[in-house]
Structure 1
Amino acid sequence: MQFPESWLREFCNPELSSDALAHLLTMSGMEVEEQRPVAPAFHGIVVAEILEAEQHPNADKLRVCTVDAGPHSPDGPLQIVCGAPNARAGIRIPLATIGAELPPGEDGKPFKIGKGKLRGVESFGMLCSARELKLSEDHGGLLELPADAPLGQDIRQFLNLDDALFTLKLTPNLGHCLSVYGVAREVSALTGSPLITPAIEPVRPSHDARLPVRIEAPDLCGRFSGRIVRGINPQARTPAWMVERLARCGQRSVSALVDISNYVMFEYGRPSHIFDLDKIQGGLVVRWGRAGETLKLLNGNTVTLDEQVGVIADEHAGQQSVESLAGIMGGDTTAVSDDTRNVYVEAAFWWPEAVAGRSRRYNFSTDAGHRFERGVDPAQTVEHIERITALIVQICGGADTVCGPVDDQTARLPERQPVALRVARAAKVIGMPLTQVQCAGVFERLGLPFTAGEGVLTVTPPSWRFDLQIEEDLIEEVIRVIGFDQLPLTPPLAPVTARVRSESQRGSHALRRTVAALDYQETINFSFVEERWETELAGNDQPIRLLNPIAAPLSVMRSSLIGSLIQVLRHNLTRRAPRVRVFELGRVFKRDASVQTSEQSVVGIDQPLRLAGLAWGPADSVQWGSKERAVDFFDVKGDVQALLAPRVARFVAAEHPAMHPGRCARVEVDGTVIGHVGELHPRWRQAYELPSAPVLFELDLASLLAREVPVYVPVPRQQTVTRDLALIVKDSVPHDDVIDTIMQAPTGGLMRSARLFDVYRPTAQTTGLAEGERSLAIRLELLDDETPLTDARSDAAIQAVIDAVQSGLGARLRGA
């Protein structure tokens, strides 16, 4: 929220400098994000009037002006050459006299005005535009001042340029500070300076006409006030003082009626709306929207409504037409224009939960919605109608202007529940001694009504405070007003208990470092993704949908990390990355009826952590020692094995929605499936426009964090015996089955390891192998820790292995 300091000081003027005031606001929770002067430094510029403006004799685009600068031209009018297109007799403008300094330019040095000569004509000063004074970017001509601007007055004094702009970064609980008066109320409580509350005098009605209004949804609108004003002049010019204040609040002037509504919103924090009365058909109905209804808004957008959005509709002959988006923006149909003569002024209380998030559905936000979704005082609707009416009569009124009575309807207002503050607990939470008198004084300064008991103060929140709901809210108010700078400098006292991780577990950061050591780079992605990713890459037809997505495509929660990694790959490929190896450790979201609500869970939603990786491009970076080859399934399989080591994983052919059906395996550890590894399905490679298929893996994090506790054994004292076997098996026999059968063979505990080191498949000239068979060369290691192995014992063990694979798998020795 942005506002000028001078406006704030009209409501509360503490004896503080601008810097001290900004510090006070920040330390009380209203962070001053920016503090800057209204205008840069310059001097010697006064109000002047052009008496005559004649064509320059030697230049088509220059005029020779005769200028009256009041006391600054004691010898009479000044002659000044000017090239502005609007330089004409009779207007009052800023004049930089000789010796004046304009704001610094790009070089940082001020521009000093001296006597000059332009095309042979002397000039004794300079007439200024708003851009030359750095008051705005408008360079269309001279800055025209009001006709009653006093001649000779310093322009800084006349335009109140020795002012500062404060920009506050308010947290959502400070909705009562979204107005100049609201901030002033806080400053008064913080400093003790008096709060000046201008009296709002009611405008006496001149007729009895009322517009019929019916509230059908009390859960949408708690109070609705309005009044008819007839005979106005909508083309009246907004006063300069109002235009200036709106501009310093970051709001451009639109028209007198719109400016008045915006001005009161910045002044008291209540958004309002002014309808063209003659465009309303019948009366107004306040209700929830209906599916399929449409509304053209003031911003030109046409939106489609549903039952979750509140509306104001008019009703004529039993037919209803939506005229406004409740608490957010008015409709184009009943907007005021230059032809408007009669208006209906509306101020209402909209329930915060009925407005929150609605404008974001339509990809825009408004000042009104920003305030209503945080809570606007429901007690002042009539007073604000009177304030707006008075300004309309003052600015747009005339002899024919008449006002009707205020029609005020109350459906249901917030019930303020008392909140108790225990003084002893407040002192404990804040960390400094407090008395009940101190706390009572804070509540009195804040205007919070309370009752006192023994060590307890019970506060009934006023109508403008929606944030006071629990005891901690009152504790915050106490220390905020007393001052955070009053807190004693005491060291924190807390027991420090070391949390030792079990040796059977490793931390997630250690796992990240392990993945990074395998040449993967970590990425962090949104947990909400495109619905297409879930359907295609996760096989999830019923994803968890977001009620209020930050962007239309990111509408569901992910149940797999693969879609996020594919998007990262596409992002890198558009930037011509030659090689991509990325991973993500993140949470996924799946429906699970067994999950109950707790501090770390939501009912019906399982949120496990996963680790996923993607490799695309060359297997290794370019080097001289080996030829370049593309990464394949076995490269990534080896990375997964390295992540699980020393635990041994089993890879079983399987299918996954995102992966190639013939190049995909599920990963099993101790008989439990912990994830999948495989190449991207060709269908999705084409759909996502990838030049070649990446290889991916996705694993359950809990299984990766578990590890076996190391068991130390002595170095063997005996020699290992190594034997090689060439076994012929059918192609349908998995490698893991062969190894498992060998290790389970009855060798008397001599078998220590079995490793595949060669695979041979038959060709047309091969003998001994039939079609559909392959030869596996396996190296066996035998060891007896106690005695050396003899050839007889080794041969017996090898024969036991051969018998086992023959009987169990139908294998035979090659060449036998």
Structure 2
Amino acid sequence: MQFPESWLREFCNPPLSTQQLADTLTMGGLEVEDLRPVAPPFTKVFVGEIKEAVKHPDADKLRVCQVDVGQGALLNIVCGAPNARVGIKVPTALVGAELPPGDDGKPFHIKLGKLRGVESQGMLCSARELQLSDDHGGLLELPADAAVGADVRETLALDDTLFTLKLTPNLAHALSVYGVAREISALTGSPLMQPRFEAVQPAHDAKLKVTVSAPDLCGRFSGRIVRNVNPKAKSPQWLVDRLARCGQRSVTALVDISNYVMFEFGRPSHIFDYDKIHGALDVRWGRPGESLKLLNGNTVTVDGNVGVIADDAQVESLAGIMGGDATAVSDDTKNVYVEAAFWWPKAIQGRSRRYNFSTDAGHRFERGVDPSLTLEHIEHITRLIIDICGGEAGPMDDQVTSLPERTPVTLRVSRAAKVIGMHVTEAQCKDALDRLDLPSTSKDGVLTVTPPPYRFDITIEEDLIEEVARVIGYEKLPTTAPLAPITARMQPEARRSRFAVRRLLAALGFQETINFSFVEAHWESELAGNSDPIKLLNPIASQMSVMRSSLLGSLLQVLKFNLDRKADRVRVFEVGRVFHRDASVITTDITVKGIRQPIRVAGLAYGDPDGLQWASRRPGVDFYDIKGDVEALLSPLKAQFKASAHPAMHPGRCASVWVDGTEVGVVGELHPRWRQKWELPHAPVLFELDLDAVTARQVASFEPVPKFQPAQRDIALIVKDHVTHDAILAAVHRASTGGLLQDAFLFDVYKPKQASAGLGLDEKSVAVRLTLSRADATLTDEQIDAAVKSVVDNVAGHVGARMRG
């Protein structure tokens, strides 16, 4: 919420500087997000009056003006603005003036110069040149009563400060200048100017028939007819300026008046063109199939969950959100109907988001607007309409169906002291509540408060405790050291931290991404094979409607985003929670019933693994690059890879990852159909692992350095094509070697192009290197030969291998 300081001080003017006022608001719970002047700094700009304006002798679009700036002699200034004419008062920058920086960021200095041969002794300024607005269509015309020669900053109050507040949802009563002033009065003790709403005497007896058919939508509906208004009347400059300093553009006088009262007292209202209303108004819930063209030009369809104001022919307005185009005021409007209502917050909440827009009115009504002052605010609006646009007011129509109950709330002084963390007395609590216009009665250390109608946030004892604390002052709370003993939670030695996992992945060339936990529904069915994802009741966007059960979709979205911006190499990872249905999970302080929430780590690689370089001509990352990264990530644990299938991955280039007999994840190349659907030039390779498996590690144990040199032997085995590498090495390690076999690895594979004497077309030759050693002695040839024979025999028995040659 934005407003000028001068307007705030009209209601409450404490003896505080601007910064002190901002600090007081922030410490009182109304965070001041920004403080800035109305206009940026500029110097030597004064009010000038054009006394003469003649056509430039050598330029059709320029005028030579004689300008009085109160210095006795007139200044000769050349100007190209179309509205430069005799009699108007405009900002005049003298020679030596410094104007706000332009697009280049440098201040603009006014110098004595010539334009087409005519000397110019300054510059007449537009609003854009002073950075007061974006209007560059002509000179900024100042009020006729502006004193010639006066400083423009003083004349237009440009040294006023704009406050921008960042209000939490419970502070609906502060969504107006008067509401903020009320808080300032309570926090500082300075008097609050109470507004007076003088009744406008009716000049006719016309009324519009209104029926409130939905009391659960509208609790109070007030309105009156104002006849013979002048819709073309110009909004006074003070009104335009105040709206601009609240961030609101001036539209027409009638619309400006409605907006002005909303910012002043937090009362959204609507002004209908009375002659465009067909018959009577009905305040009700929408009906399926009804549509409405709004003031913003959008046409929306309503249903039974959206409140509307309708006449006998059609829907005319979205209740509490935005009016319709059909009954909008225009230059042809003669008679208007002024409406102010109380809409139940629950009936307005979330309705704007259904149509992908928000309004100032909806923002206030969904938090709660005072239902007790609709008549007073209509009187205020009517007075402004008559003063600015003329007209004749009719009698007030007020229908009250149901208003919020003002339920008393109690505050125990002892409880307040315990929660606040400092000693407070009953007198302190009562004084704080009285200053906030929350009068209380006391009995036996218990204060009872009946909240006023504009405080929708006070429902329980803690709400009152918060009010007491912020009025007393958070800065007065004592600093108290913790009384409970603090015991550091040591990380088990057999587990590494998530940060270590992140650092390791970063060292492998991956960059971390953080994505939303809610994703598109079709990702779950297509990429995760999850036909029953966990759906969100109130998604922030239609494409974020379910909770993810896999991280792969998020990484693919990151890849697509980067490829669309011409990235040629992408290596990203994410550590995050996924969500699965699990009936065995019960509700605890960290779990939700029926939902399992494990943490996983996933990665994606695309493009050349080493980037573009002269020594490498590889086409791109492949399965084995990422397999190596997964092995490094799980090290020192030994990972096993078994051919597998996954909905997101290529059927023949996908493997499940196993550690100690437990499946912990999957690695593979993206399925061709998803690559085609995502329009990817090449297939990325992905992996996804359970974080618990990645963070687990073996505790190091001491082993003495071997004193005796190991022996190595190479064996060549012939096996069938279908025999896998894992099966061969498993058979090697199961051999009875008396503990001599320390290591074995495959280092060569040979497949003949045609059958030979010792090798068939359905066979292959594999070479395995064995490392044998003992810690207490050097191995003899007999021991080595026996161990090798045991390995060969065991491989032959388990996988049908035979020695080559």
Alignment of 1:686 with 2:682, yes or no, is no
* Counterpart-to-counterpart distance in 1, 2:519 and 2:10: 50
Task: Find the residue that maps to 1:315 and give its secondary structure.
Answer: coil
Pick closer, same or farther for the CA change 1:150–1:634 going to 2, 3 Å.
closer
- Residue 272 of structure 1: which of 269, 272, 280 is its match? 269
AA aligned to 1:349 is F
Q: What is the CA deviation profile of residues 629-665 of structure 1, one whole-angstrom value per residue up to 9, with x for unaligned ones?
A: 6432222212212222222222111111111111111
How far apart are 1:570 and its partner, in Å? Answer: 3.2
Alignment of 1:395-794 (within 5 A): 395-398=388-391, 401-411=392-402, 413-488=403-478, 495-620=485-610, 628=618, 630-715=620-705, 720=710, 722-747=712-737, 749-782=739-772
Q: Is the contact between residue 93 and residue 128 of structure 1 (CA under 8 Å) also seen in structure 2?
A: no
Provide the residue aligned with 1:32 in structure 2: 32
- Residue 138 of structure 2: which of 133, 136, 141 is its match? 141
Q: Is the contact between residue 96 and residue 113 of structure 1 (CA under 8 Å) also seen in structure 2?
A: no
Provide the residue aligned with 2:90 in structure 1: 94
* Counterpart-to-counterpart distance in 2, 1:223 and 1:11: 27
* Counterpart-to-counterpart distance in 2, 1:450 and 1:706: 60
Q: Is the contact between residue 518 and residue 547 of structure 2 (CA under 8 Å) also seen in structure 1?
A: yes
Alignment of 1:242 with 2:239, yes or no, is yes
Q: Is the contact between residue 93 and residue 125 of structure 2 (CA under 8 Å) also seen in structure 1?
A: no
Provide the residue aligned with 1:232 in structure 2: 229
Pick closer, same or farther for the CA change 1:291–1:544 going to 2, 3 Å.
farther
* Counterpart-to-counterpart distance in 2, 1:74 and 1:513: 74
AA aligned to 1:325 is L
Alignment of 1:101-116 (within 5 A): 103=99
How far apart are 1:228 and its partner, in Å? Answer: 2.7
Pick closer, same or farther for the CA change 1:167–1:787 going to 2, 3 Å.
closer
* Counterpart-to-counterpart distance in 2, 1:127 and 1:719: 95
* Counterpart-to-counterpart distance in 1, 2:525 and 2:305: 27
* Counterpart-to-counterpart distance in 1, 2:787 and 2:111: 107
* Counterpart-to-counterpart distance in 1, 2:75 and 2:731: 110
How far apart are 1:78 and its partner, in Å? Answer: 8.3
Q: What is the CA deviation profile of residues 686-734 of structure 1, one whole-angstrom value per residue up to 9, with x for unaligned ones?
A: 3323332222111111121222333444455666554443333222233
Alignment of 1:337 with 2:337, yes or no, is no
Q: Is the contact between residue 222 and residue 396 of structure 2 (CA under 8 Å) also seen in structure 1?
A: no
* Counterpart-to-counterpart distance in 2, 1:67 and 1:807: 110
How far apart are 1:465 and its partner, in Å? Answer: 2.0
* Counterpart-to-counterpart distance in 2, 1:80 and 1:624: 66
For structure 1, which segment, 243-252 or 27-36, has the greater mean C-alpha deviation from structure 2 after superposition? 27-36
Q: Is the contact between residue 273 and residue 330 of structure 1 (CA under 8 Å) also seen in structure 2?
A: yes
Q: What is the CA deviation profile of residues 42-98 of structure 1, one whole-angstrom value per residue up to 9, with x for unaligned ones?
A: 4673474x56655456654455667777xx4879x9887655422334x44136498
For structure 1, which segment, 183-192 or 280-289, has the greater mean C-alpha deviation from structure 2 after superposition? 280-289
Pick closer, same or farther for the CA change 1:787–1:352 going to 2, 3 Å.
same
Alignment of 1:236-385 (within 5 A): 236-316=233-313, 321-385=314-378
Provide the residue aligned with 2:46 in structure 1: 45
For structure 1, which segment, 752-761 or 50-59, has the greater mean C-alpha deviation from structure 2 after superposition? 50-59
Q: Is the contact between residue 27 and residue 484 of structure 1 (CA under 8 Å) also seen in structure 2?
A: yes
Q: Is the contact between residue 449 and residue 462 of structure 1 (CA under 8 Å) also seen in structure 2?
A: no
TM-score calculated relative to the size of structure 1 = 0.88
Pick closer, same or farther for the CA change 1:518–1:159 going to 2, 3 Å.
closer
Provide the residue aligned with 2:18 in structure 1: 18
Q: Is the contact between residue 587 and residue 610 of structure 1 (CA under 8 Å) also seen in structure 2?
A: yes
Unpaired runs of 5+ residues, structure 2, are none
How far apart are 1:118 and its partner, in Å? Answer: 7.7
AA aligned to 1:234 is P
How far apart are 1:332 and its partner, in Å? Answer: 1.0
For structure 1, which segment, 504-513 or 415-424, has the greater mean C-alpha deviation from structure 2 after superposition? 415-424
How far apart are 1:180 and its partner, in Å? Answer: 0.5
Q: Is the contact between residue 102 and residue 132 of structure 1 (CA under 8 Å) also seen in structure 2?
A: no
Q: What is the CA deviation profile of residues 774-803 of structure 1, one whole-angstrom value per residue up to 9, with x for unaligned ones?
A: 223233445566776665555555444444
AA aligned to 1:274 is I
* Counterpart-to-counterpart distance in 2, 1:781 and 1:29: 72
How far apart are 1:388 and its partner, in Å? Answer: 1.5
* Counterpart-to-counterpart distance in 2, 1:276 and 1:237: 18
* Counterpart-to-counterpart distance in 2, 1:136 and 1:569: 41
Alignment of 1:63-102 (within 5 A): 63=63, 72=70, 83-89=80-86, 91-94=87-90, 96=92
* Counterpart-to-counterpart distance in 2, 1:130 and 1:632: 61
Q: Is the contact between residue 38 and residue 159 of structure 2 (CA under 8 Å) also seen in structure 1?
A: yes
Pick closer, same or farther for the CA change 1:593–1:68 going to 2, 3 Å.
same
Q: CA RMSD in A?
A: 3.5
How far apart are 1:546 and its partner, in Å? Answer: 4.3
Unpaired runs of 5+ residues, structure 1, are none
Pick closer, same or farther for the CA change 1:640–1:129 going to 2, 3 Å.
closer
Pick closer, same or farther for the CA change 1:706–1:306 going to 2, 3 Å.
farther
* Counterpart-to-counterpart distance in 2, 1:64 and 1:694: 69
Pick closer, same or farther for the CA change 1:161–1:628 going to 2, 3 Å.
closer
Pick closer, same or farther for the CA change 1:182–1:652 going to 2, 3 Å.
same
Pick closer, same or farther for the CA change 1:541–1:120 going to 2, 3 Å.
same
How far apart are 1:678 and its partner, in Å? Answer: 1.0
AA aligned to 2:434 is E
How far apart are 1:370 and its partner, in Å? Answer: 1.8
AA aligned to 1:408 is Q
* Counterpart-to-counterpart distance in 2, 1:577 and 1:68: 61
Pick closer, same or farther for the CA change 1:88–1:747 going to 2, 3 Å.
closer
Pick closer, same or farther for the CA change 1:102–1:746 going to 2, 3 Å.
closer
How far apart are 1:124 and its partner, in Å? Answer: 8.4
Q: Is the contact between residue 94 and residue 155 of structure 1 (CA under 8 Å) also seen in structure 2?
A: no
Task: Find the residue that maps to 2:722 and give its secondary structure.
Answer: coil
Q: Is the contact between residue 95 and residue 125 of structure 1 (CA under 8 Å) also seen in structure 2?
A: no
Q: Is the contact between residue 45 and residue 100 of structure 1 (CA under 8 Å) also seen in structure 2?
A: no
Q: Is the contact between residue 103 and residue 134 of structure 1 (CA under 8 Å) also seen in structure 2?
A: no
AA aligned to 1:482 is I
* Counterpart-to-counterpart distance in 2, 1:446 and 1:671: 66
Q: Is the contact between residue 644 and residue 651 of structure 2 (CA under 8 Å) also seen in structure 1?
A: yes
* Counterpart-to-counterpart distance in 2, 1:322 and 1:723: 90
* Counterpart-to-counterpart distance in 2, 1:81 and 1:760: 91
Q: Is the contact between residue 224 and residue 393 of structure 2 (CA under 8 Å) also seen in structure 1?
A: no
Q: Is the contact between residue 110 and residue 122 of structure 2 (CA under 8 Å) also seen in structure 1?
A: no
* Counterpart-to-counterpart distance in 1, 2:455 and 2:223: 24
* Counterpart-to-counterpart distance in 2, 1:751 and 1:770: 30
* Counterpart-to-counterpart distance in 1, 2:713 and 2:66: 113
Q: Is the contact between residue 92 and residue 149 of structure 1 (CA under 8 Å) also seen in structure 2?
A: no
Q: What is the CA deviation profile of residues 485-522 of structure 1, one whole-angstrom value per residue up to 9, with x for unaligned ones?
A: 33445656663311111222211111112222223222
How far apart are 1:299 and its partner, in Å? Answer: 0.7
* Counterpart-to-counterpart distance in 1, 2:287 and 2:640: 57
